[in-house]
Structure 1
Amino acid sequence: MPSLYIPSDKVLEKVNSLVQGFWLVIDDEGIPVLLMKFEASILTSLIAGCKIEMVVRNPKLENRGSTLYLYDKEKDPLWITWQKFGKEDKVYIGFDEVIIRLLQTEKLRVAYYNHHNEPVFTTVIDKKNTFNSFKEWVIDIYSSNELLEKVADGYYAPETKDKGFTINIENKDSSSEEKMTIFNPLKGIEWNGELNESGYNFNNYLKDGKHGYNQEISIKGNLINYFTANEELYYSPKKIDGTELIDFLIHYKKATILIESKFILSEKQTKLNQAFSKAVTQLNEAEKIVRTDLTKIENDNDIIEKLTDNEVIIRLCLFNDSKTVNNEKLKNVIGKFEKTELPIFISCTTFFQLLGDIKIKNEEFYKYNTIQNLIFLYNEFLDDNECDIVVTKEYLMKFGEKTV
């Protein structure tokens, strides 16, 4: 029988507040717990056993800071930096108590959460006791006179001994392990589409053809934190012939965002070309209908009335972070379409970071600012004669430039 780690209300509140990321606590048995909240493809990689590292930051660079590296792609790991997990250690000043306990332990409990803040899976994995090596490292860094340069965004790669102490976490493949079915907290919301089930089991979405639904669940769980379901945010709106218009449609004021989601597992170039070409075609067809013939859309939740007052349409293709997408990979797609027909290609994680950061910067006007930033990014792409495609995989600080 699978089990789930249930944190305290205070810790759960912290997890709920994360756009994505991680948190560390010590459970009632004295075992450190690494809680991780990520989008569907990252969770899939983690549960499949992808490599995990944590770098405890040199306090001369960041006091009580840590960076988590997730090697969903060996040469391009996802990284997240955080500071101050609970109390500071009384002996090792500049480091958290839970970090010291993590260094000492040989067991680590890992709890995975999705963007609905649902506990997807909990397991216990091994790690080496590296406390003695850490103590030697602490002596070395405090006796060193080397000048270290702080960075604004927390990105210290390539990592060195002077920058931080690396903890290797011996992740394991838990794909085949039984997962617990949990209730969907959004079951009270009447959505169009196929994602209204009251129970959710991660294993159900590891089968061929089901990964895409898992990503859509993740996107939906994130978007409802920013836009009101069935008033501003529409999942899988339909055309009058019963076919899908688009995966997600957001309408705010006089702007519409069309979103098509693509989860691509295959490493074959032909599969990638097919998936993204289909997404571009669907986005352009949806835009044409919204601009010229709203009568082709089912008028659920008065969507037609809202789309009548529309001046701007933004097209996004969201893809799973485990996939490498760049100009070279998409050259065949670029060749099939005019530049103005291409959407913004953006990874799910980057899009979620964008939304979260803009809302933090300005709670009152974050919806407007989100649209302005996307317009800015796309217009910059259109004006750049040397840029064939706009692919946003890494979080760009420029997103903060266009705010009220």
Structure 2
Amino acid sequence: MSSLAAASLLACFTGEALQGEPCSADADCGPNLRCAEGGLCGEFRCPATPLVLPTFAPDLTLIVTSTASMGKSLADDPNTTRWQQVLTLVDQIGAALGDRVNLGLQVVPTLSPQTNLNPCDTDARSRILPGPDQGPLLNESLPQSPPGLGEHALRAGLDLSLAGFALTDPDDLRPHAIVLISDRPLNCSDAAVTSQDIVELFDNELTPRVAELAAAGVPVFVVGIDIQPGDGVAPFPGAKYEEVDPQLAFNALADAGGRPRSGATRFYRPEDAAALIADLAAIPPAFADCRVHLDAAPAYPQRLVLRVAEHNHRVQPDCSSGHGWRYPDPKSPTTLELCPVTCADFRATRALTIEQRCPSE
């Protein structure tokens, strides 16, 4: 979660109009002055910094590989296809979490007339932006059977998912997470030169890209569909996907995503749906700790004012009354902790305003 910009908290306007004269309201005072406590114009205000959230729920995007390989029967159940497992899993996630998180979807690749020319082509047309109560929508948007086109364009799906988060949460205030649901092969390598390379080469940049997202605070939960241990090797530069052991490849993805399972199989399987849903449900909402982080310390920490639910609050030493806010570390006033009652008000109104007030000159 990114911190709240503090640039507007660092400087104060100056002005002399009506300074020190009596007042009953801010409108009685001249430019850049307010009616301070005591009924005198004097304390300056900096521009207020608002923080507004339409929802505190995390944004969660499912990336689903929809390719011909998903039409294959499961190794241990010839009467069930991989795609049927995907549909069941998406339905389970939607039913369990649709009213608790903002669910979105990115299907890879994007089917279009160009798919035959570039089977890795993926764009936002196959994306549903994260939103509340969208569990049924995700499942309804997936076809009942996979197409006979396309390859595993998962890196493109990751980038489009990040772009979707930026659209739904431009201030980066809510937690974000991705669930990557795929079978093998993991191809669409940037190293591909020929059309055959696109299909055959293992994408060695996929795992590093997943690791970048996790390091940036976007965990990636990896679900492997019909992934069986093979006699291949660990991924290596220039490898063909058939040379790579599927279990080793998906374990590496899960480790990179920052949410691996314990044991020999570190990715989720469809039969682990209950565990996956529990782990996703454990992602906290925005401001679960009732703390607001600033990019820099305010110019006058003791004169910072938070407005929540029509009430102004100045800093106080503790939260024993339940109202107001405090600095958890007064020596480093870049984190503000809302007291329980004020935090509850913030969650009810989904908005607060931070305002720097300055000593009169």
TM-score (norm 2): 0.26
Instruction: Return the index of the structure with the highest Cα Rg.
Output: 2
RCO greater where, 1 or 2, for CA within 8 Å and sep 6 or more? 2
Greater fraction of residues in helix: 1
